[in-house]
Amino acid sequence: MVLRLYNTLTRRMEEFTPLDPARVTFYSCGPTVYDDAHIGNFRSFLAGDVLRRWIESPLRAEALRSTGGTPVPHQSSNHTGGTPVPQGTVPHVTHVMNITDVGHMTDDAEGGESGEDRMAVAGRRLAEAKKQGALPAGVDVDPSDPYAIARFYEHRFIEDARTLGLKVALEAGAGRATRPELMPRATESVPGMIRVIERLVARGHAYAVGPAGQQTVYFDVRSFPPYGALSGNTLESLRAGEGGRVHADNQAQKRHPADFLLWKSDPRHVMKWKSPWGEGYPGWHIECTVMSAAALLGADALEQLLAAPLADGTLPAGLPGAFIDLHSGGEDNIFPHHECEIAQSCAAFGREGTAGSFARHWFHVRHLMVNGQKMSKSKGNFFTIRDLLAKGHEPAAIRLELIRTHYRSNADFTEQGLRDSARMIERWRRVAEATGPDTSGPDTRGPVAGAAGAAVAAREEARAAFVEAMDADLNVAGAIAALNTFVGRVDAPTAADAALVRAFDQTLGVLERPRPAAQSTAIGVFLPGVTPDPRVLALLEERRAARAAKDFKKSDEIRDQIAALGFTIKDVKDASGAVKVEVGRKV
């Protein structure tokens, strides 16, 4: 078996074969840090994380070795003279996720050209929270400083990402302290963006409009014939749809309605940099062109690209036509963001090629619904990771619920789904934590007699089913089914069974998450992640007295009061038979 993935660019399933069999380069569009990331954002981030984990999985390498271990030439349409590599090689994945800390405008319809600066909006929100005393304990952020705002939300995002086991955030370290180059900031890459824009103008792919010192720079989409290949849009269809939310003043300056922003001089923008076109800010799309090349090729290679002759098709020696193996994001990134990213990257670096892409494989994740509806704060179904943790849900269950639906299908996030995921995890833990002796002998291929042979066969069957599912376009649901079938067949788990479940979890990344402990009080057990609340404790005492007096009407009224505070309660018996109240958070 080999890993086959759906490629958004070619609209077909393809065998995943990296340019360098020992090193996979992977770029994911990360968060815009003007607010907390919500669970829909994290669905996309975690799908990329599972893909990365599977590429690196020893299970995958073992399955490849079992097919014969014959050296195979590595070749692609963009990279000739492939390097022979033994089957079963476990590549190292260099995974980079950007931090968009340039406060773009609120109207995404024009690529961040119109509306209000997002950092200004965030500043007002933080100022109000500060006034109301609603900021987290120990936090003092200046709501008038856009950099302080960005660092505040960046820190919270990285905390959330590490809580859910996103490997790129674990590698970068708390606060990006260990390997900051894996999570580059847009604000630290602006000089590179200016140089790329200058190159695009010089090559005839971009143009400046407006008076000197107050100019706006647009990419000329008609200069790049493959524009639209990723999304399926055509220039004519984009011209026909130029109305709607698009601002007339901006459109009047463009050569074509689909031309997109590279740089804008705008006094309304909170964050500004000096440039050849005046003091302003970069467009929404240009940052990823620079950060992906700098982080995955290296600063020296980026310098080579920027210094290469301006003639189309001229590439520095040793650099392939498509220099990124994988590029991921949510399906809402396909257009305009990734379409524009392809155009400007290929046009700047001479990478039109036959496919018109600087990345070989495009991986996009469908939307997340909540209770069958689109997330909306007004509907009360908009959740961040912190919201769910505060309600008592453990990180492992949140992660599993966000990854277990196939990435190319819309997922529906529900409270029942979270509970199902939590119960599933407990069944897996029963096997994963087992230390029982293995009576089946060495876990090797080949016949083994009797019950011992059945145990070995069950593990081999589960391993094969898991690998087959993951190699089939990252079928996580199928892999989970294989794991559940195996766990259901194991009555007395052994150390060998535990090792296999832990091997599966190296890809799923669930059991490695810290397991919060419940907090027990004299009257109630507060579920993991739920802090004992004095108001709830007082109401539980009243409820106990009401129940002792058989005043069940009052008991029910108190239950309703507790629910109004955002908590759920359930009467449970402990090991001694004593009844305690289990307290959780409402979702």
- CATH assignment at residue 78: 3.40.50
d(CA 496, CA 459): 9
Q: Is pLDDT at 247 greater than 70 in this prediction?
A: no
- Select the more confidently predicted residue: 42 or 80: 42
Q: What local confidence, expressed as pLDDT, does residue 275 receive?
A: 97
Count CB-CB contacts under 10 A for residue 555. Answer: 17
Q: What local confidence, expressed as pLDDT, does residue 407 receive?
A: 98
Within a domain: 367 = no
Instruction: Please give the average per-residue pLDDT across 470-488, as a whole number.
Output: 98
- Select the more confidently predicted residue: 406 or 252: 406
Same domain, 409 and 271: no
CB 267 within 8 A of CB 214: no
Least Cα distance to 97 among 151, 167, 175 occurs for: 167
Same domain, 29 and 158: yes
Adjacent-strand bridge partners of 117: 105
Q: What local confidence, expressed as pLDDT, does residue 61 receive?
A: 85
In tens, the pLDDT along 545-569 reads 999 999 999 999 999 999 998 889 9
Among 48-52, 78-82, 197-201, 407-411, the range scoring the smallest mean pLDDT is 78-82
Within a domain: 6 = no
- CATH assignment at residue 235: 3.40.50.620
Q: What local confidence, expressed as pLDDT, does residue 408 receive?
A: 98
Same domain, 399 and 381: no
Within a domain: 578 = yes
> Where a domain ends, among 508, 543, 563?
508
Within a domain: 300 = yes
Within a domain: 75 = yes
Among 157-171, 423-437, 488-502, the range scoring the smallest mean pLDDT is 423-437
Among 102-116, 205-219, 320-334, 460-474, the range scoring the smallest mean pLDDT is 102-116
Within a domain: 5 = no
Same domain, 314 and 232: no
Same domain, 378 and 503: no
- Give backbone dihedrals phi and psi of 192, rounded to 5 degrees, phi first: -65, -35
> Where a domain ends, among 240, 271, 287?
287
CB 106 within 8 A of CB 245: no
Within a domain: 514 = no
Preceding omega of 336 cis (within 30 degrees of 0): yes
Q: What local confidence, expressed as pLDDT, does residue 80 receive?
A: 34
Q: Is pLDDT at 502 greater than 90 in this prediction?
A: yes
- pLDDT band for 353, please (50, 70, 90 cuts): very low
- pLDDT band for 110, please (50, 70, 90 cuts): low
d(CA 505, CA 487): 13
Same domain, 50 and 114: yes
- Residues of the chain with pLDDT > 70, as a percent, come to 87
Same domain, 305 and 172: yes
Global pTM reads 0.86
484-489 contacts, C-beta under 8 A, 24 or more apart: 484/424, 484/427, 486/458, 486/459, 486/461, 486/462, 487/427, 487/428, 487/430, 487/431, 488/427, 489/458
Same domain, 137 and 103: yes
Same domain, 142 and 157: yes
Q: Is pLDDT at 318 greater than 60 in this prediction?
A: no
H or E segment at 567? strand 567-573
Within a domain: 3 = no
Q: Is pLDDT at 302 greater than 60 in this prediction?
A: yes
Q: What local confidence, expressed as pLDDT, does residue 481 receive?
A: 98
**What six digits make up the tokens of 391?**
């309600």
DSSP annotation string for 127-185 = HHHHHTT-SPTT----TT-HHHHHHHHHHHHHHHHHHTT-HHHHHH-GGG-S-GGGS-B
**What six digits make up the tokens of 300?**
């020296």
Average pLDDT over all residues of the chain: 87
Helical ranges in 264-350 per DSSP H = 286-296, 299-307, 339-349
CB 506 within 8 A of CB 466: no
> Where a domain ends, among 287, 318, 333?
287
Contact partners, residue 145, CB within 8 Å, separation at least 6: none
Beta strand segments in 23-132, E: 23-28, 92-97, 105-107, 114-117
d(CA 379, CA 209): 43
What crossing angle do the helices spanning 286-296 and 190-202 adopt, rounded to 10°?
Answer: 110
Q: What local confidence, expressed as pLDDT, does residue 315 receive?
A: 53
Structural domain count of the chain? 4
Q: Is pLDDT at 158 greater than 70 in this prediction?
A: yes
Q: What local confidence, expressed as pLDDT, does residue 577 receive?
A: 74
**What six digits make up the tokens of 43?**
């669905």
Q: Is pLDDT at 442 greater than 80 in this prediction?
A: no
- pLDDT band for 35, please (50, 70, 90 cuts): very high
Q: Is pLDDT at 355 greater than 60 in this prediction?
A: no
Same domain, 59 and 37: yes
H or E segment at 519? strand 519-520
Instruction: Please give the average per-residue pLDDT across 365-388, as a whole number.
Output: 91
Same domain, 309 and 255: no
CB 470 within 8 A of CB 507: yes
Same domain, 259 and 297: no
> Which domain does 562 fall in, by range?
519-585
Helical ranges in 79-143 per DSSP H = 118-131
- Give backbone dihedrals phi and psi of 388, rounded to 5 degrees, phi first: -70, -40
* Residue 465 burial (C-beta neighbours within 10 Å; 0-12, 13-18, 19+): middle
- CATH assignment at residue 420: 1.10.730.10
- Give backbone dihedrals phi and psi of 78, rounded to 5 degrees, phi first: -105, 0
